[in-house]
Amino acid sequence: MTLLADLRAALSPGAVLAGDAVPVAAASDASRSGHALPRLLIRPRDTAEAAVALALCHRHGQTVVPQGGLTGLAGGACPRAGDVAISTARMSAVEAIDPEGLTITLGAGCVLARAQEAAEAQGLMFPVDIGARGSATVGGMIATNAGGIRVIRHGMMRENLLGLEAVLADGTVLSHMNTGPKDNTGYPLAQMLAGSEGTLALMTRAVIRLRPLPAGRYTALCALPDFAAVLALLRRARQELAGLSAFEVMWADYVAACQATEGVRLFAEVAPFTVILETDGPPEAAAALEAHLARALDDGVIADALIARSHADARRFWTVREGHGLDAALPGLMNLDVSLPVARIGAFAEAARAAVLGAEPAAQVMVFGHLGDGNIHIALALPDPDPARDHAAEALIYDTLRGFGGSVSAEHGIGTLKRDWLPYSRRPAELAAMRAIKAALDPLGLMNPGKVL
Ligand SMILES: Cc1cc2nc3c(=O)[nH]c(=O)nc-3n(C[C@H](O)[C@H](O)[C@H](O)COP(=O)(O)OP(=O)(O)OC[C@H]3O[C@@H](n4cnc5c(N)ncnc54)[C@H](O)[C@@H]3O)c2cc1C
C-alpha cells in the first residue's frame, strides 16, 4: 500500500489531507522562506494517532516536518518538496489547570493566547509571552524554546517546562507528564527536546508552570540620550523595581519606522533610545515606578517619561515595539536575533550597522529588543532584495557578532536561515555531540531534515 493509503486506513477521518486539500499556508512559516507544499498534511487528534502516523512514515522512509502555528522566523517549519507535514492543530485542548500546583496541562497545538486566557480565568498567568500570541502554539514554542518579553522575570519556555509527551520518528512515545518543579530522575529529556525545532521528536502534550496573576501591571515609556543611559536605567530598574517584568529597548530609526507603519506617535521627538519598562505587583508598585522614574529624571538618566494610565496607553507603546506593520512595509525584511553580554550591545549595534552600511549604503539596519536578556533583534532590509546580497549583508552582521562573542540565535532558533552561522556559536565538538543525539533518536534522519544541523 502507499503511505497515503496506509495513513487513511489507520487514522481518523479528516486526519490526512492530500493534493488540493493541503492549505497553501502549509508551505511556509512567518519567515516566508518556504516555497514547497508538503505532499501530505497529517493532523493527528492525539498522541496515539501521532505515534501511528510517525510509525507509518518511518516504515515508508518518509521525511516529516512538524508544524505548529507557523509563526516561526527561522524557516524551521518549512517543508521541502516531497516532505510530509504533521500539524498539531487538532491537539489543542487545555486539559487541566492545577491552581495549587501552579501548572497547566495542554495539547501541543494549543495557541498561546488561549493558554493565557485559560490561566487568567483561574487567577493565574502563563509565564511566557510573545508578539505572535494569537497563532503560535505551545508545542512550537517548546520546539523553539521561545523567549519573548517576560524572560527577564520568568525565563524562556525550557525553564517553565515541567512535563512533556513526545513521539520519536519511529512512533515511540516518550511520556513524562511531570507536574512538579523537582524531578532529578536522570537525563532531562523534556528540556533537551525544548529547542530541538522538530528535529528529534513531535511534541504532543506538555505541562507548563504557571505564576499567580499579578494584581497589576504598570507600564512606562522612557526617552534616553545614549546607550550608557539605557544601561544605567536597566541597573537601577533591577535594583529598585521588585516586579520588573519587561525592559525593552528601541533605537531611534526603529521607533520612527514603526510609528509611521502603525500610525502612532509616542514622544513629540524621537529620542536616540526609547525603553518600555514594565513592573508587576500590587497597587504600591505603581507608586514605586513613578518614584523610580522621577529619580532617573532628576539624575539625568532619562530625558522624558510617559506612564500608561490605561490598558490602551500601554497597548500604544507596545504597538510600536511589536511593529507588526514593518514586514509589509519592507519586502525582503530579515529578522536577525542575536544575544551577547548586555554591556557590549551598544557598541555591537553600532559596529554591525557600520559594517552593513559600508557595503550597502541604502540598507535599513534597525535595532530593538529584549535588552534585559542581552537579546536584540536587527531588522535588516536592502532596497532591492536579492538572495546573494541579502546573505552577504547578514554575513557582515554575524562576522561582527563573532568578534563580540555573541550567539547567532537568542530565541528564534536555527531552522534553515541561521544554519550556516551555527558554527559561529557552537564548537565542532558540540556540533558532533548534537549529531550523535540526532543519530540516536532519529537514525534514519526523517524528522525535519535539513533543519538546525
Ligand atoms: C510577530 C511575531 C513576533 C514574535 N515574537 C517572538 C518573541 O518575542 N520571542 C520568540 O522567541 N519568538 C518570537 N516569534 C517567533 C515565533 O512566534 C516562535 O518561534 C514560536 O515559538 C513558533 O511557534 P509556532 O507554533 O508558530 O511554531 P512553527 O512556526 O509552526 O514551528 C517552529 C519550529 O518548531 C517546530 N515545531 C512546531 N511544533 C512542534 C511540535 N509540536 N513538536 C516538535 N516540533 C514542533 C517546527 O518544525 C519548527 O522547526 C515571533 C514571531 C512573530 C511572527
Does 61 map to a domain?
no
Does 50 map to a domain?
no
User: 39 pLDDT exceeds 90?
Assistant: yes
Does 184 map to a domain?
yes
Is the shortest distance between the CB of 132 and ligand 1 below 6 Å?
Answer: yes
Q: Which of 273, 301, 322 is the endpoint of a domain? A: 322
Does 448 map to a domain?
no
Residue nearest to atom 6 of ligand 1 (CA): 130
DSSP 58-88: HHTT--EEEESSS--SSSTTPPPTTPEEEE-
> In terms of domains, do 142 and 246 share one?
no
> Which pLDDT tens digit goes with each residue over 126-181?
999 999 999 999 999 999 999 999 999 999 999 999 999 999 999 999 999 999 99
Residue 180 DSSP symbol: S
Does 386 map to a domain?
yes
Is the shortest distance between the CB of 3 and ligand 1 below 6 Å?
Answer: no
Q: Which of 144, 178, 212 is the endpoint of a domain? A: 212
308: nearest Cα among 297, 298, 319, 299: 319
Is the shortest distance between the CB of 146 and ligand 1 below 6 Å?
Answer: yes
Could you list the residue range(s) of the whole structural domain that residue 263 is in?
Answer: 216-322
Question: What is the atom index within ligand 1 of the atom nearest the CA of 370?
Answer: 8
The whole-angstrom separation of Cα 110 and Cα 89 is 8
Is the shortest distance between the CB of 445 and ligand 1 below 6 Å?
Answer: no
pTM as predicted: 0.96
Is the shortest distance between the CB of 78 and ligand 1 below 6 Å?
Answer: no
pLDDT at 385: 81
Find where cell 509527551 sits.
Answer: 165
Does 2 map to a domain?
no
Is the shortest distance between the CB of 75 and ligand 1 below 6 Å?
Answer: no
> In terms of domains, do 205 and 239 share one?
no
> Which pLDDT tens digit goes with each residue over 322-332?
999 998 899 88
Q: What is the mean pLDDT of residues 363-370?
A: 96
Task: Say how many C-beta atoms besides its own lie within 10 A of residue 355's C-beta.
Answer: 18
Separation of CA 297 and ligand 1 centre (Å) = 39
User: 201 pLDDT exceeds 90?
Assistant: yes
Instruction: Output the CA torsion 99→102→105→111 (10° steps).
Output: 100
> In terms of domains, do 203 and 112 share one?
yes
CATH number at residue 156: 3.30.465.10
pLDDT at 331: 84
pLDDT at 327: 87
Does 444 map to a domain?
no
> In terms of domains, do 367 and 305 share one?
no
pLDDT at 1: 81
| Mutate which of 71, 128, 133, 453 for ligand 1 pocket (most atoms within 8 A of beta carbon) | 71
Is the shortest distance between the CB of 206 and ligand 1 below 6 Å?
Answer: no
pLDDT at 404: 94
Domain count of the chain? 3
